[in-house]
Structure 1
Amino acid sequence: MSAMNWGILGAAKFAHEHMGRAIHAAAGARLAALATSSPEKAKPFKSFCPDLEVHDSYESLLADPTIEAVYIPLPNTLHVEWTKKALAAGKHVLCEKPIAMQAEEIDTLIAARDASGRFATEGYMIVHHPQWQLARDWLDQGRVGELRHADVVFSFNNPDPGNIRNKPETGGGSIPDIGVYAYSCMRFAARAEPAQLRSIIRRENDVDVFAHAFGEMENAAGRFTCSAITSTRLQPRQEVVFQGSEGLIRLTCPFNANVFSQAEVTLVRAGQPDLVQRFPGVNQYVLQVENFVRHIREGAPYPWTLEDARGTQAMIDLVRASEIA
């Protein structure tokens, strides 16, 4: 079976440092094309993928019949537009998160996906990492007893006013940038949805730089309290804890495995030695691409759909609507 040819829309730094390299390294995938009007921006990609074809526009890449799938790392406010254009061009789509700015926009993407007969999803890579699959399995098995609280913190310090994450016109802010991780991980691992939320949000130049969402979530087993703090103005920190009546699960590098630290998940229960699982060298971006290819080629299950992304965006919308004045 031939490798799936991929193209990238835009020479984003993240695409160069992570996803471009992941596509290049993934089994069953081939990084074949990049769309950028700047030859200089293409050079870093050619350093690890010398045969890369460079298109001078996004439209040109989408018109290339040899490209089967595209990865979209554009600014947040462009995700919906270019996902639709890629689907209309007959391409499968992996688009960076958040894939939309409001939940209703994802309804239009679901309709476009279904009409096209192609696969489209949000690049929520952590669900492909074995530490998150293990955490979900432990919760499913009741290893912590009755789940009573979930606690998430994700922060870094990015005060650069020129960065797109600090610009309202490009969909910047801690909520869309990293809240998508904080809220999605609770929904995924605990199979839960928000029941009631309140939030405290602080802004600079019309962009949220700190958000604390708290309240209750609900799954098939009942309700549990939750707390999720995201900030782009704090010392880097990331940690997730699921705390139950008989134990807890702690992830100390839940989001940026091998970048922030080594992925590690620990099960703590009274009177028993801690059970620690470490995952050195696992590349969740490569796993994401390989699972994407297997889903299309073989019909293998894929752990994050547009419907899943819509659930998180609905939670983001709720966090914003529930702000304490």
Structure 2
Amino acid sequence: MAHHVRWGILGAAKFAREHMGRAIHAGERGALVALATSSTEKAAPFAAYAPGLKVHLSYDDLLADPEIDAVYIPLPNHLHVEWSKKALHAGKHVLVEKPLAMEATQFDDVIAARDSSGKLAAEAYMVVHHPQWAKAKTLYEEGAIGTIKRVSVAFSYDNRADTSNIRNNPETGGGAIPDIGVYAYGTVRFVTGEEPSDILSTCIERENGVDVWSHVTARFPSFHYSSVVSMRMAPFQEVVFHGDGGVMRLTAPFNAGVYGEASVEVQDTSLEVTRWRFPAINHYVKQVEAFNASVLDGVAYPCPLEFSKGTQKMIDMIWAADRA
């Protein structure tokens, strides 16, 4: 049995260069060994922290490399399904950036390719690998806030000046909801285990064909949900779970260590607050290590494609409600 996973990356994306490439190389039981890019200049920053990096001049060449076990795909959103299927058909395990697809039904072909290949395929949904979210889920399941009544989520940043950013381009699957709405919606599903029954309201602002601000309310079986997601507001992020026995608040829930220190706070009915802190934890590394363990040991992966498809279903419901 192999003792480590040999990783390749399709494309020299900035996020891969600054975050995921480093996490792949730092994660236990894995190593970044190859990159596919037509520019040797773009490969240089990767080689700086992954000495001996092999550079392939095309994505197909990397997929044909027998010394690659798994590929990370940080390509523009509209290319995720195509290259995930190609990688699986080439016999590689796949970790693909979110969102994997633009519609929930598009997950089905990737799931079928995963099953027929016997390889692991997953969306890079790093937050569920962070102990902050594991603690929140445990506290919720233990009844720390009693019966849940309300959940509110806010996640924003401002990239209006970065006009060339793929998130500002409708042709590449841009928009705030595909980019960060997956966190505002999926994490609530992760903690509560519930799926939305109805989208109650949508208010979405668009620029150049992409959503840049949205306020969404929804009904889940046990609670009312409200969220604001934007890439035209000052940076902010917070998640609040409100029950009849307490309030649970997550700080830095989505960019732990960048936006601020991750923590979970529970305020009980006497207004006493208990806080759990999670400093200096890299959820990208945790994600890679969970992936490696699943590949090498066969343990269940914490965030399967079926879960990610559920988040896309909620996004599809939001789009449909907004068109109605």
TM-score (norm 2): 0.97
2:267 alignment partner AA:
V
What are the within-5 Å matches in structure 2 for residues 305-324 of structure 1? Answer: 305-323=304-322
Question: Is residue 259 of structure 2 the alignment partner of residue 260 of structure 1?
Answer: yes
Q: Is the 8 A contact 2:152 2:225 kept in 1?
A: yes
Residues in 1 aligned to 2:123 and 2:101: alpha-carbon distance in whole angstroms: 9
Deviation of residue 305 (structure 1)? 0.7
Structure 2 equivalent of residue 226 of structure 1: 225
Deviation of residue 324 (structure 1)? 7.0
SS at match of 1:193: coil
1:163 alignment partner AA:
N
Residues in 2 aligned to 1:211 and 1:171: alpha-carbon distance in whole angstroms: 16
Residues in 2 aligned to 1:232 and 1:27: alpha-carbon distance in whole angstroms: 34
Question: Is residue 214 of structure 2 the alignment partner of residue 211 of structure 1?
Answer: yes
Structure 2 equivalent of residue 48 of structure 1: 49
Residues in 2 aligned to 1:104 and 1:59: alpha-carbon distance in whole angstroms: 26
Deviation of residue 296 (structure 1)? 1.6
Question: Is residue 166 of structure 2 the alignment partner of residue 167 of structure 1?
Answer: no
Structure 1 equivalent of residue 155 of structure 2: 154
Q: Which runs of 4+ in 1 moved over 3 A?
A: none
TM-score (norm 1): 0.97
After superposing the two structures, state which structure 1 stretch, 75-84 or 48-57, moved more. 48-57
Residues in 2 aligned to 1:273 and 1:324: alpha-carbon distance in whole angstroms: 44
Residues in 1 aligned to 2:92 and 2:9: alpha-carbon distance in whole angstroms: 12
Question: Is residue 184 of structure 2 the alignment partner of residue 185 of structure 1?
Answer: no
Q: Is the 8 A contact 2:237 2:253 kept in 1?
A: yes
1:287-307 Cα offsets, whole Å, 9 max, x none, are 101111111211222211110
Structure 1 equivalent of residue 241 of structure 2: 242
Q: Is the 8 A contact 2:146 2:243 kept in 1?
A: yes
Residues in 1 aligned to 2:307 and 2:249: alpha-carbon distance in whole angstroms: 23
Instruction: Tell me how large the CA RMSD over aligned residues is.
Output: 1.0
Q: Is the 8 A contact 1:199 1:324 kept in 2?
A: no
1:270-300 Cα offsets, whole Å, 9 max, x none, are 2263111111111101110111111121122
2:25 alignment partner AA:
H
Question: Is residue 281 of structure 2 the alignment partner of residue 282 of structure 1?
Answer: yes
Matched length: 321
Q: Is the 8 A contact 1:174 1:230 kept in 2?
A: yes
SS at match of 2:66: coil
1:126 alignment partner AA:
V
2:188 alignment partner AA:
M
Q: What 5-or-longer segments of structure 2 have no aligned partner?
A: none
Residues in 1 aligned to 2:24 and 2:57: alpha-carbon distance in whole angstroms: 20
